[in-house]
Structures are given as C-alpha cells and as structure tokens.
C-alpha cells in the first residue's frame, strides 16, 4: 500500500472504533514521511482517544506546522491541550475570532476550567442565543450560573436543557443540585429520582439521590440508593462515607464504622473517611485508636483540614486547649460540618475563658444549623408563637395561684438549665437523672 492508501485504511479503522489500529498505521507512515500532517493528525488523535493526551499534543502541534493548519486540526489540538491540562495554551488557541461552533463550545469549557466563570457564562449565553436548540450548552450554562450563585437563572437554563433533552440523567442531576442549593429539598429529591429512573446504573446519580433523601431525614431510604451505588462502583470512597453518615443518623455506630473503613480501603488517604471515623472513635472514648488512625492517615499521605480537626480533638482530650483551639478555628473543609466545628470552637474557647470568641462561635453554630436542611424544615413562626404563648401564661396572677408549701430552713438551691433547641439539654438532663439525688422537672409541662 502507498501512503494515501494506508491513511485511508487508518481513517476506516477510526470509523470502526479502533484507534489503536489506526495509530499503528499512522506510525508506519511517519517512519517514511515524518512530517506528513495527516499521519501526525491520526497518531495524535489516536493517543488522545486512548487516554494519552500528553503524547498526542506534540504530534498535533507538528501537524499544524507541517501544513495541516485548518479549523479541524486547530480544534483537535485545542481539545488535546484541554484534556492534557494545558489550559492557557488551549484558551489562546480557542479564543481566536470567527471560530466554528464546536470550537466556541470548547472555548467556553476551557474558560470554566480556568475558573473564569463570568466569561464562561457569557460564552455559553452567546452560544445558546445563536443556537437555542443546543441542549449541552444550556446545561453547561446552568452549571456555571450555579457556581456563580445565580440560582434562579441556573435553574431556568437547566429547565430549558431538560425541555430539549428530557431523557438526560445528567441534566436532571444538575437540576437537582440547583434545587438543593435553593433549599427546595422535596423538589430536588423528585428530580434526582427521575435521574435514577433514566440511568439506574449510574453510581454518581444514585449517590446524589441518596444525598437528597438524607437531606429529607430519610436515611433508611438513602441507604438503599447508596448500596445500589456501591454495588456498581465499589472503588468510590464517597459512597461509603455517605453510607456511614446515614448509619450514624440511624444510630447504628457499628455499621457506620464499617462503612468508613470500607472507604479507607478504597482510598487510604481519603480525608473525609478518616475525619468521620475519627469523630466516631472520639465519641466512643477510643482515643488510642483515634491517635493510631491519625498516624496511619499521615503515613499514607493524607493532609489538610480534616486531619487537623481530628488533631484538635486529641489535643483537647490531652488538655492542650490553646493548640486545639488554634487548629479547630482554621479547620474548614466541605467534609467538616460547620455547626459541629463551631460548637467545638465555642466549647474550647469557653474553657479558656475567651467568652467573646465562644459567643461568636455559638452564634455561627446556630446560623449554620438554621441553614441546614433540618433547620430549613423548622417552622420558626410556629416555634416563636409557642414561646410567646408560654411567656403570656407566666403572669403575676399565674404565680399567685400556686399553692403555698412549707420549705425546709436550708433548702438545696435549684439549678436552671437553659439552651437552644437541639443543643444537648435533653441529653444532659437524662445523664443527671442517673444520680439518685437528682430530680429533673421539664419546664414545658409545668408552664402548661
């Protein structure tokens, strides 16, 4: 075969889904014609399709310099640069004016990857303005708007994408994420459920559906989704951490611990797994095991805020409150519950006598709780009305109706325990009731 015939056969192998075979034929041509632009294109694209973009980029660059400079070859090089992580060069190549639609979409993707979200949003907007039937660009526009915090416009873009492609599980998943960010948890769950129906074998979709159910305090139902996801992808530690958190919600600590350890088996340096397992160990007073977990995680290369928070817990147990406070204050990550971290900071600051910092931390804790799915589900007006009704009953006339009683000359002083809802007051009075000399009176029945 001559060079032209070999290249034609390589192109035929590409069309049949055989990039490896196409690459071999292209390399044969390059042995006799090392600057043949078509052969360079074939071998470069084949490397990219085989997951080797860094090997494809030099070949595609040579193709452009060897007379193969055309819109298609420029797009192939920009795509390869993007996949290889060479974003600055990719953006410069894709940004040239007068580009075809495919390159304009790629340019918007590159801008998003560079973190230039406003520019990416404008680029996607221009694309959908020119082609309102482009479902992918509507979807990408919705994702960028979501990252920018523009939730209403993000939802509108994703709704348009769903109209154009109602059978896309990815579009439904992205819409569910936006709805969750809008605190529309019920709607989010419905959309994720539809995504699961459309793609029941997608572990990422099942994981998102499980998160949606967890936000609705449906941990048992969430575990079914997580288990389905784990059966499909047993290598994803996020799935097992989510399962562990759901088991903790159900107070099944043994299975929670097992789930966290499965996550660490899947990825030994996965910070969220170490974090949640460490919290579980600390709550169970298993401090020696917690310290061993920290040493093991660090030996496996784990670093960051998750481990710093665990170190803070150990330091507090050892009485080094200053060091514990310093670590905990800076320990912020997506894995650390902000309400729990703020509560920890507040307690340690209070122990150190730093009342201003403690009060600020507890304020931050209550704000975080109010923003959580559980907090969003509280009817604040109803609770306020209940408090006002109790306050209205406690009038001077009400106190005067109390029967007179004879008190000992030196009665024991009562202790009043006051706290916000779900702040641990019930747990504390339950513990105090374990003492034979203590009796606890709940305030609401008395006032009622």
The answer to whether position 176 is within a domain reads no
59 DSSP assignment: H
The answer to whether residue 237 sits within a structural domain is yes
Give residue 418's pLDDT band: very low, low, confident or very high (50, 70, 90): confident
Tens digits of per-residue pLDDT, 266-322?
Answer: 999 898 999 999 999 998 889 999 999 999 888 888 788 998 999 999 999 999 999
Which domain range does residue 259 map to? 183-267
pLDDT of res. 106: 95
**Residue 20: CB atoms within 10 Å:** 10
Contact 15, 27 (CB under 8 A): no
**DSSP category for residue 217:** T
- The residues near 231 (Cβ < 8 Å, ≥ 6 apart) are none
Say if 242 falls within a structural domain: yes
Evaluate whether residue 248 is within a structural domain.
Answer: yes
Q: Is residue 225 part of a domain?
A: yes
Query: pLDDT tens digits for 23-56?
Result: 998 899 899 999 999 999 999 999 999 999 999 9
Task: Quote the CA–CA distance of 331 and 54 in Å, as a whole number.
Answer: 36
Q: How many residues are there in the chain?
A: 448
Tell whether the model's pLDDT for residue 373 goes beyond 70.
no
Looking at residue 172, what DSSP letter applies?
Answer: H
Q: How far is CA 424 from CA 173, 295, 318, 364, 431, in A?
A: 36, 32, 23, 17, 11
387 located within any domain: no
pLDDT score of 258 more than 70: yes
Question: For the chain, how many structural domains are there in total?
Answer: 1
Q: Does residue 193 fall inside a structural domain?
A: yes
Residue 68 has pLDDT above 80, yes or no: no
Read off the pLDDT of each residue in 349-375 and give the average, rounded to a whole number: 84
Residue at 220 is within a domain: yes
User: CATH number for the domain including 217?
Assistant: 1.25.40.10
Q: E strands of 290-354, at which residues?
A: none
């Amino acid at each position: 075969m001559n060079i032209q015939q070999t290249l034609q056969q390589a192109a035929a192998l590409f069309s049949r889904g055989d990039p490896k075979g196409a690459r071999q034929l292209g390399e044969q041509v390059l042995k006799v014609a090392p600057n043949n632009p078509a052969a360079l294109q074939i071998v470069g694209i084949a490397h990219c399709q085989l997951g080797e973009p860094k090997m494809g980029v030099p070949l595609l660059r040579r193709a452009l310099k060897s007379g193969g400079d055309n819109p298609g070859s420029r797009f192939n090089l920009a795509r390869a640069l993007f996949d290889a992580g060479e974003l600055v060069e990719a953006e410069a190549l894709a940004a040239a004016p007068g580009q075809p639609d495919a390159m304009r979409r790629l340019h918007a993707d590159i801008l998003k990857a560079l973190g230039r979200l406003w520019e990416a949003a404008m680029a996607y907007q221009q694309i959908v303005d020119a082609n309102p039937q482009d479902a992918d660009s509507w979807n990408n526009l919705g994702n960028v708007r979501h990252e920018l915090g523009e939730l209403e416009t993000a939802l509108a873009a994703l709704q348009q994408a769903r109209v154009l492609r109602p059978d896309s599980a990815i579009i439904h998943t992205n819409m569910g994420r936006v709805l969750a960010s809008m605190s529309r948890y019920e709607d989010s769950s419905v959309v994720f459920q539809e995504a699961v129906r459309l793609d029941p074998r997608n572990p990422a979709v099942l994981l998102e559906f499980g998160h949606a159910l967890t936000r609705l305090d449906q941990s048992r139902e969430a575990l079914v989704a997580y288990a389905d996801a784990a059966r499909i992808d047993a290598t994803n530690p996020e799935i097992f951490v989510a399962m562990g958190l759901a088991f903790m919600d159900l107070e099944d600590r043994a299975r929670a611990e097992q789930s966290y350890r499965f996550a660490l088996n899947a990825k030994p340096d996965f910070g969220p797994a170490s974090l949640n397992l460490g919290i579980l160990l600390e709550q169970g007073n298993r401090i020696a095991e917690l310290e061993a977990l920290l040493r093991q995680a660090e030996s496996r290369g784990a670093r960051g805020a998750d481990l710093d928070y665990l170190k803070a817990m150990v330091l507090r147990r050892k009485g080094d409150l200053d060091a514990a406070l310093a670590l905990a204050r800076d320990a912020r990550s997506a894995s650390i519950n902000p309400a729990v971290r703020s509560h920890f900071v507040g307690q340690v600051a209070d122990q150190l006598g730093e009342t201003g910092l403690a009060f600020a931390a507890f304020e931050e804790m209550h704000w975080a709780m109010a923003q959580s799915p559980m907090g969003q589900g509280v009817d604040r007006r109803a609770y306020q009305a209940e408090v006002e009704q109790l306050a209205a009953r406690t009038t001077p006339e009400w106190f005067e109706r109390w029967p007179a009683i004879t008190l000992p000359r030196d009665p024991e002083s009562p202790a009043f325990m006051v706290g916000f809802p779900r702040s641990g007051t019930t747990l504390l009075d339950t513990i105090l009731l374990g003492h034979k000399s203590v009796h606890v009176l709940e305030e609401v029945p008395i006032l009622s």
